[in-house]
Amino acid sequence: MENKKVLLGMSGGVDSSVSALLLKNMGYEVVGITLELFAGSCCNIDTNIDAKNVCNSLNIPHITYNLKEEFKCKVIDNFIAEYANQRTPNPCIECNKYMKFGFMYEKAKEIGCSYIATGHYARMEYSEKYGKYVLKKANNIAKDQSYVLYNLPKELLGKVIFPLGDMTSKEEVRNIARTSNLKVANKPDSEDICFVPDGDYKRFLENNSNLQPKEGNIVTADGQVLGKHQGLYKYTIGQRKGLGISYKEPLFVVGFNKEKNELIVGEQEKIYKSEMLVNNINLLLVDKLEEATRVSVKTRYSAKEEKATIEKVDEDLIKVVFDNPVARITPGQSAVFYIGDVVLGGGKILS
């Protein structure tokens, strides 16, 4: 019989701290772990101290795990490479896959834990309908983070616990922290990419890679030159602000010509697409797509779901056909497929 020992990822914030409390109250033997990922960011000495203090107050052990090299290799290098190729990455998804549900799970097994847990807002439940554990949206849809979890390794279904999945609001979580005298109860949420705490990803790229300002033309699809840009990595599909050009109507970024170092702009209707291709597929609900399947799709974390039909094109390629055209389909972002509140799977937007 498996033990009830769980390794909980702790960031020093209120979500993971309350998760520790809830898991302990549920009868689990909890071990807190703080991943050291990037110096001078969310993973700094204060993070460690806050997490350790919470663990001490709950009388549970706390360990740290240095993953800075792995984080650079799997997350930061990917982040840089994507922007270098005119793609817009979501580093949280890579971090979840490789750090929180990859290396952390290996560490869990090493110290005898049967489960891992995080403070994400999502649910992992056994489904009678599908006869297996499934990843589901959180009850609090406004806080739902299932989108950034679609890429977790399939073998972890049923091995991950999300204690906050049934919470109705963030205030409910903070109230639990307050009534339990957790000192992090009012600690603000971190919103930015952890290794770009000031939100200036362009400066981060310039300071940490060979991507540097390089002037080129801003052109229409038919080649009309409208102005100059200062580096293709500074732009993303659908962007309107900051183009520094004037035209008879609003223009948006619709594409890139890397060979000519050109930024291609167009009118609003040009940012809508009726279909897209997705690769780097990770299916959680099924082993493979046997037939065309009706789903809801999210093309960005903050985007609303869109009705669509998905179909396998190749071993690692899915075609998505939307019921209605969708704006700002951005290569590098993830497309996540849902059937109701269950995550079918997802992949990276190719085109």
pLDDT score of 41:
47
pLDDT in tens, 250-286: 999 999 999 999 999 999 999 999 999 999 999 999 9
Same-domain check for residues 218 and 299: no
Residues 45 and 147 in one domain: yes
Same domain (yes/no): 337, 291: yes
Q: Is residue 14 assigned to a domain?
A: yes
343: left (phi over 0), alpha (psi -120 to 50) or beta: beta
Question: Is 76 part of any domain?
Answer: yes
227 and 115 housed in the same domain: no
Classify residue 197: in a domain, yes or no: no
Co-location of 59 and 101 in the same domain: yes
> What contacts 28, CB < 8 A, 6 or more positions away?
4, 5, 6, 115, 161
94 and 144 both lie in a single domain: yes
Tell me, yes or no, whether 331 and 227 share the same domain.
Answer: no
Among positive and negative, which fits the CA dihedral 217, 221, 223, 226? Answer: negative
Domain for residue 192, yes or no?
A: no
Those residues with Cβ within 8 angstroms of residue 111's Cβ, 6 or more apart along the chain or in another chain: 7, 31
44 secondary structure, DSSP code: S
Structural domain includes residue 194 = no
Which residues of the chain carry a pLDDT beneath 50? 1, 41-42
Q: Of 179, 200, 233, which residue constitutes the final position of a domain?
A: 179
Tell me whether residue 200 is in a domain: no
* Residue 131 belongs to domain spanning: 5-179
For 14-38, the pLDDT digits (tens) are 999 999 999 999 999 999 999 998 8
User: What DSSP designation does 28 have?
Assistant: -
Tell me, yes or no, whether 24 and 155 share the same domain. yes
Burial of 23 (0-12, 13-18, 19+ CB in 10 A): buried
CA distance linking residue 345 with residue 220, whole number of Å: 36
Q: Is 73 an active-site residue?
A: no
**Statement to judge: residues 236 and 279 lie in one domain:** no
Rg of the chain taking only CA atoms, in angstroms = 22
Residue 257 is part of a domain; what is its CATH number?
2.30.30.280
Last residue of a domain, one of 133, 162, 179: 179
Strand blocks (E) in the chain: 5-9, 29-36, 62-66, 115-117, 122-127, 132-137, 160-161, 216-220, 225-229, 252-257, 262-266, 272-283, 293-298, 306-314, 317-327, 334-339, 342-349
Examine the residue annotation and report whether 194 is marked as an active-site residue of this protein.
yes
Task: Assess whether 12 and 96 both reside in one domain.
Answer: yes
CATH number of the domain residue 164 falls in: 3.40.50.620
The total number of structural domains that make up the chain? 3
Say whether both 86 and 108 belong to one domain: yes
Residues 135, 278, single domain; the answer is: no
Query: Does 21 reside within a domain?
Result: yes
Of the listed 55, 92, 95, 113, which one is catalytic? 95
| Helix ranges restricted to H, the chain | 14-25, 45-58, 68-71, 77-84, 91-95, 104-110, 170-179, 201-208
Supply the CATH number for residue 337's domain. Answer: 2.40.30.10
Domain boundary pick from 251, 266, 281 = 266
Residue of 43, 55, 113, 194 with catalytic role:
194
